[in-house]
Each structure stands twice: as structure tokens, then as C-alpha cells.
Amino acid sequence: MAFDLQAAVEAAAPGAVVNVPAGAYPANVFIDKPVSLIAMGKVVFDGTRAGTVLRIRTGGLVKLAGLMIVGGRTGLAGAGVALEAGQLEMLACTLRFNEAPAFGGGGLCVRGNATAKVSQCRFEGNTGRQGGGVLVDEGGTLVMRDSLLAQNAAFEGAGLCVREGGRAELLGCTLADNKVLGEAPRGGAVALGGTMTRAPTVKLSHCIVAERARGASTLSNFDAYPGTLVLENNLLPEWCQAFGGDNTYAEPHFVGEGNEPYFLTRASPAAGAARGDAYGPNARDVLGRPRSTGGRAADLGAFALA
Amino acid sequence: MVNRIGQRLTAVVKDRTVTRAEAESIVQDAKAERKWTPALQGQLSTFVMKHGAKMEPQAKAVLEDFLAAARPRADLRDPLALKEHRTDVSWTPVGPDAALFVDGISADDVMQGYIGDCYLAAGLASLAAADPNLIKNAITDNGDGTYTVRFFEGVGEGGRPKQVKVTVDDDVARKNGEALYLSGRDAKEQWPGIIEKAYAKWKGGYERVGNGGSASDLFMSLSGRAADWGELKDYKPDALWKKIKSTTDRHRPVAAGTFADNDPRANYTGTGVHGDHFYSVLGASEENGVKYVTLRNPWGMDEPSGNGADDGVFKLPMADFMKLYENIEFGG
């Protein structure tokens, strides 16, 4: 009998682990209880452009591991995953080609005091009005590490958009080739936008930001109501030097071709540029490879130098 | 004194006695001011006190009569207009016969302008239909041409929502004399434009609110109560109809959004409904066994044909509603 994701979630007791057999499943699922969805092999949840793939509103913790989440499309916020309440831990998931044209958060939207911890994930080719890859809004919190945000598109914050008291902390991530469009585009990689009364906070540490479109708007902090943007030991485009601080401003020297174009070459200033124990013990990159081997210093960005 | 009135007063004082003709000329200039502000009122008042002895009695009376009748209006910094409007927008005072509310508050008051905030216009019309007192209580008239709108922040985020008060003046953004943003159907009615202006100021300008958004955010911001939202495909038609009816019967607002124009799931040709648009959901009814929802286009016109007056309000069979609309938002 074919696996029925919605039925499995509905039947699961709070706290249960649902092992999802390998396969591709149409999915527009509402998760209202703490459960874990674990891929047993290659698992694809396909929104079939008929709504959000996974909408999560729970008082507890939802864990997603090893899933590929594609084809979400919604007029609301969050086409791949919409986290509206509760906590989410997402490990080694790929969110690709999800669309939230009316609101934002093509790949993931975190809002309403929810918290998402994202590790070793890939957000690729997602689109949204704000936050093509990820939108953090209205008090939501995102903690992302060892992840890739690439080739996402939006009017504001193509890779990541953080608004209205949202908080985002990225460690060891690569933000590359995200693109802003429209009448007033801003934030090719990251956009912050506060209101009169509350400001967002974004911290990028040990990340690589590489956008092809030149311009200060790669990292964009809203003039009228700016947020707090903290940049620590990142590799940033040379045209972002106005942000100052403790960063390197140079070309990333990616491999630039093949299945993993954002692999580093040995010429990259990101190679071996991580400081001390920035990633903690036993850290892994987005592909699950050790962050450092043989006593070599770890690298900036999502990919450890091969 | 670098303004026009200041220059006139300075010129008059240099001369001898201020004549009635000169006083009348000053009053004419004062009336021609874009906005008679408290600062200008104070300037003229000081002039009369300081130089009254040098004036013909009739000249002094003319100026004093003007000062007694004048209603100074504060001039606050306006929110930044949409980027596409910034070169040709002019902020002009509302007309002298304007009123915050004209004949009460109703959904029909709301007319969306040349800005992509249909979610806000539809949401306001829904609120006006469901709970006009909520709108009335959200706006305070400060008596000087400014209004303070009370919003709530942090609704549905776990803690206690915080009140946010935003004060704006009643200047209207116009291009070639036509209002660019939200206005009343009766151009004299100010409340829709005042709320939109305060919302834009709070969020950082019209660009921030004029490129799509969420009606439920507006519901929460004005009511302080958590909202709910979802996609129509997640509902069975009867269950959704009942939810719409029970929500509107409880005087809570509802709004619904259509699919994007390029979405393969809907074709709006010949339907009279527009893609990529938000509508107020004003109620649910049943006639001859057919279930309907009543909707309103926030343009205040343009509805499917055969639905009576061209006021934007129309009834749609539930089956069509399920086909043509993508998402729905319920105020708490």
C-alpha cells in the first residue's frame, strides 16, 4: 500500500517519529503536532504547485531530516515550509523551486515567535516577494548553519529577508547568485527591514556572500528603520566594503562548474579562514563532510575545501 | 521669517501704519497658504500683538477676525511615497469640508488607490463591515489636523501584544489633483486614507505596504486579536461556507485572495474576478439550496456582470468561490 503522508501525520502520536519510505509524494500537509519526519532514502515531497508543501503550527518541536521539498506554491507566506508556530529542526533537507509570489518565504517562512534551527540544508531556486530563500518575519527566529542559499529570487532579500523583530543567525553558510528584481529591488543576498517600533537582527559569521550583481544592495539594511546587522569573519564582495568590520572583501574563487559550483578552490580566501573552534567539535559541512581534517583550519561558507 | 507670510509681515512693518487694505492682503496670502500651521498662526498672532499700535483699527480687526476663525493644522512628515510616484507626488491638505467619518463607517467607504495594497483595502472594508466600532476606536482626532491610529504589535507571538500609536496629518498624496492612495468613496471621508497612511508610516513607507501583504496582519494590527488563514483547497466547501458564515455573523472580518495571474490553477477570463487580488468577504448566504458568499472588490467597483450596482459588491456561488480563490484570512 502506498505511503500516505497526510494520513501518517494524522495518525502519529505527539512526539512520534514517522519514517518516510524512499519515493516521491505529492504533499500539501498541515502539521499541528510535534512529530519527526525522517527520510528513509531519497524522499521528495512535491507541492505540485498546489499550495504550501509543509505547513507547521504546533506548540512543540517538529523535526525534518533528509527530505527534498519542491514545487510548493502559495499566495500566503512560506511555500516550501511555513512555520507559523512552534519549533522546527531541519537537517540535511533540500528546498528547491518553491514559490510564494504574493507574500514571501519561497523556501521557508518563520514567523509568529516560531524558531527554526536549520543545518546542512540547501535552499535553491526558490522565489518569493520577500525572502526568496527564507523569510523571517514578525518575531520569528532562524538559526542556520552549514547551509547553502543559492539562486533564489525576490523583490527584497533574495536569499534571506528578515523583518519586524525577526532574528537570524547564520554560521558557515554560502549565499550565492541570489537575485533581486522589480521596481525597488534590494538585498540580493540579505535584506533587513524594521518598522517604527521594532528592528530585526541578523548576524552572519563565517559565511560567504557572492552575488554577481554589483551594488551595495547585496546586503541591504532598510534606511528608514534599519535593523542590527552583525558581520563577523565573512568573505564578502568587494563592493560591500562599506559594511566594514572584521571581514574579507574579495572574490570567493568558487569552482564555478559541475554539480557543486560553489565548492571552493585552493585559491579562495575562504579556504582555511575560519577562526579557532568557530564551528564547534565534530562540525560538518552542507554535504556532511568534516569541517576540518588533519589539523587544517576550517573554511568559510557551506562547503569544506575538498 | 523666510516663508511667504513672514515676508509680507516684514514688508508691512517697515512701512508706516498698517492699512485695512494691507491687512486684507495679508489675510488673502494666509488663506492661500498650502497649509495654515500652528507656526504660521503663532507668527501672525505675534505680529498683531507686537505691532497692533501701528495698525488702523479696522486693519487690526481684520487680522484678529482671521486669527479667531483660522483652524491651524499640524504638518507632519509624510511617509515616503511609492518609488514610482516619488517624482510627481504632491502632498496637499485635505479640503475644508473633509471629515474623518461621513455617514458612519461602512465597507463601501473604501476605495483602493494606485498602489498594490489590495490586501489592506479589502481588509479595511471587511473590518468596516464587521465591526465599525473597532475602526472608530482605533483613530483619535487630535483636533489639529493630525490623527493618531492605535495598532497592536506582536499579536500571536506568544506574549502580550504591545500598543503602537502612530500619528499622521491629513495631507493627501496626489498626482495631477487625483488621490494616489486609499481614499473614501466620498472624497471628503478621511478614515481609510488616515489608517493606510499611519500603517505605511509605521512600516516604513508606502513602498513597504504597497507591494502585496496579508489582510490577517492588518486584522491583528487593528484588533489585537490573533487571526487565522489558510488555502481554500484545504477546506471542504460546506465547512468553509459555515466558517465564513459563523465568522461574519460574529462580526469578525474575512478577506480572500485570488491566484496570481500566471497561475495555471485558475483562468479569470470572463469571470469578472481579477487574479492576484484581494477581496473582502462580507458574508455567506443560501438561496434555493445554493450556497453563496458575498464579496467586495476593494476598487469599489468592477464585479461580475449581473450583480446590480457597480459598487464592487457581488455574490458568488460557493463552487465558483472555491475555483477562483486561493487563500482566505479570518480575523479573530
C-alpha–C-alpha distance, residues B173 and B182, integer Å: 9
Contact B84 A73 (CB under 8 A): no
Phi, psi of B123 (to 5 degrees): -65, -40
Signed CA dihedral, A234, A239, A241, A242: sign only: negative
Interface contact A75-B259, CB threshold 8 A: yes
Q: Which band of pLDDT confidence, cut at 50, 70 and 90, is reported for residue A178?
A: very high
User: With an 8 Å Cβ cutoff, are A196 and B326 in contact?
Assistant: no
pLDDT value of residue A277: 87
Give the pLDDT confidence score for residue A215 in this predicted structure: 67
- Among A74-88, A205-219, A237-251, B40-54, which range has the highest average pLDDT? A74-88
Quick: pLDDT tens for A122-158.
999 999 999 999 999 999 999 999 999 999 999 999 9
Q: What is the pLDDT of residue B68?
A: 95
> Is the pLDDT assigned to residue A17 strictly greater than 90?
yes
Residue B264 pLDDT: 85
pLDDT in tens, B137-162: 999 999 999 999 999 999 988 889 99
Residue A294's alpha-carbon distances to A206, A281, A301, B116, B206, in angstroms, are 20, 14, 19, 56, 55
- Probe site for chain B from A138, A186, A223 (most B CB atoms < 10 A): A138
Using the Cβ of B202 and the Cβ atoms of chain A, whether some distance falls under 8 Å is answered with: yes
A77 vs A134: CA distance, rounded Å: 10
Supply the ipTM of this predicted assembly: 0.91
Say yes or no for a CB contact (<8 Å) between B231 and A75: yes
Model pLDDT, residue A1: 60
**pLDDT reading at B1 higher than 50:** no
User: According to the model, what pLDDT value does residue B2 have?
Assistant: 58
Instruction: Name which of B83, B201, B229 is nearest A183 (Cβ-Cβ).
Output: B83
Q: What is the mean pLDDT of chain B?
A: 93
Average pLDDT of span A238-248: 85
pLDDT for B5 beyond 80: no
Instruction: Inspect the interface and report whether the beta carbons of B234 and A75 lie closer than 8 Å.
Output: no
Give the mean model confidence (pLDDT) for residues B213-230. Answer: 95
Reported confidence tier of residue B305, pLDDT bands at 50, 70, 90: confident
Q: How far apart are CA A134 and CA A78, in angstroms?
A: 8
Q: What is the mean pLDDT of residues A40-60?
A: 96
Task: Decide: pTM greater than 0.95.
Answer: no
Q: Which residues in chain A are contacts of B81 at CB distance < 8 A?
A: none
Helices B215-223 and B191-203, packing angle to 10 deg: 100
Provide long-range contacts, Cβ within 8 A and 24+ apart, for A18-25: A20/A67
- The alpha helices in chain B, defined as continuous H runs, are 4-14, 20-32, 38-51, 57-69, 118-130, 132-138, 191-203, 206-209, 215-223, 237-249, 318-324
What was the pLDDT predicted at A302? 98
Q: What is the tens place of the pLDDT at every residue in B169-200?
A: 999 999 988 999 999 999 999 999 999 999 99
Is the pLDDT confidence value at B307 over 80?
no
Tens of pLDDT, residue by residue over A80-112, are 999 999 999 999 999 999 999 988 999 999 998
Band of pLDDT at residue B262, cut at 50, 70 and 90: confident
Grid coordinates representing A230? 552583525
All three cell numbers of B54, joined, read 501701528
Could you give the CA distance from residue B93 to residue B146 in angstroms, rounded to a whole number?
11
